Amino acid sequence: MRRRGGGSSLVLGLWLVLAGAGWTQEPGDDAPQGPPPPVGRGTGGGVPGLELLPEIGRIGAQVGAQFGRAWHPYNAGAGVQARGFIDLPLASGFGGRLSYRVSVTLGSSTGAPFAITNPIAYVANLSAGFSAADALAGPPRAPFPVRRAVRTRLRVLHVSPFALKHAFTGLDRAHLRPYVTAGLDAVVIITKQLPERDESLAFTGTSPFDDELIAGLVAQAPELSAQGLPTGQGNIEFGWHVGGGLELRVTRGVSLDLEYRLTRLGGGESLHGASGGLSLHW
């Protein structure tokens, strides 16, 4: 009997120690102390939807692709462009929503014919023993064309690592959201000149002067062309852009977009683009 009483006292003492250390709880201590914080709901572009970040629109993010027309500098004329972008929410205010945008654009065009003078072809004619007048005149008085008509073919990779977009939400009931955007750009430009016709009396239709010309001067070696090695004269330009557009929300998570953008390059040249496409919102 004493052993039982001693055991009961030991268990009771252990329980009191644990209770004093906070290892036990009264019933109901783990129940919520109040209702959970409210979860915001927003229009998401005019259509009700659950928001994870209140007052930003669903969560405010957007990814899209656009295709359209581009007007390139450097006498390269009008061509086509394709753009991909992602918008990430920053804040709400001033009648709309501010986002951080990253975009990549690819463009291509071929310009109108214009005349160039090729000094390397002139030197080649002189080296072949022709007089200065005949060397400058080119075919048929000398083998290689010095003055000729070419077109510029341009390829452009346009990267905008930092841009801001402000979308106005006043027309959300009509499922319309106009916006403006501005940012900084790095533009990789590759060009080459395409002769209008084969004019060389020697090596007709091939390098050094009748194939695609690098910097309007000379073509690459035919063995490299046979390997499919790309050619061109390239450079990187830095600049900025401004633009505006309109989103038409067709469902809660999909919109049709129209956008115009003007890009100003460091050398003073301008690149214009108008495009349309599809965006996904979440």
pLDDT digit string (tens) for 46-55?
A: 444 444 444 4
Go through the domains of the chain in sequence order and give each one's CATH number: 40-281 (2.40.160.20)
Average pLDDT of every residue of the chain = 85
Checking if the pLDDT of 36 tops 90, the result is: no
Average pLDDT over residues 225-231: 87
pLDDT of residue 264: 96
Residues 209 and 145 sit within 8 Å (Cβ to Cβ): yes
Residues 53 and 46 sit within 8 Å (Cβ to Cβ): no
pLDDT of residue 230: 87
Average pLDDT over residues 251-255: 92
pLDDT of residue 9: 53
Under the banding of pLDDT at 50, 70 and 90, the label for residue 222 is confident
pLDDT of residue 225: 84
pLDDT of residue 28: 38
Question: What's the count of helices (H) and strands (E) in the chain, helices before strands?
Answer: 4, 11
Under the banding of pLDDT at 50, 70 and 90, the label for residue 32 is very low
pLDDT of residue 151: 96
pLDDT of residue 39: 46
Checking if the pLDDT of 40 tops 60, the result is: no
Look at residue 234 and give its three-state secondary structure: strand
pLDDT of residue 226: 86
Joined tokens for residue 85: 């972008």
Whole-angstrom distance, CA of residue 20 vs CA of residue 30: 18
Prediction pTM value = 0.74
pLDDT of residue 228: 87
Average pLDDT over residues 144-154: 96
Residues 270 and 262 sit within 8 Å (Cβ to Cβ): yes
Checking if the pLDDT of 14 tops 60, the result is: no
Element holding 100 (H helix, E strand): strand 96-110
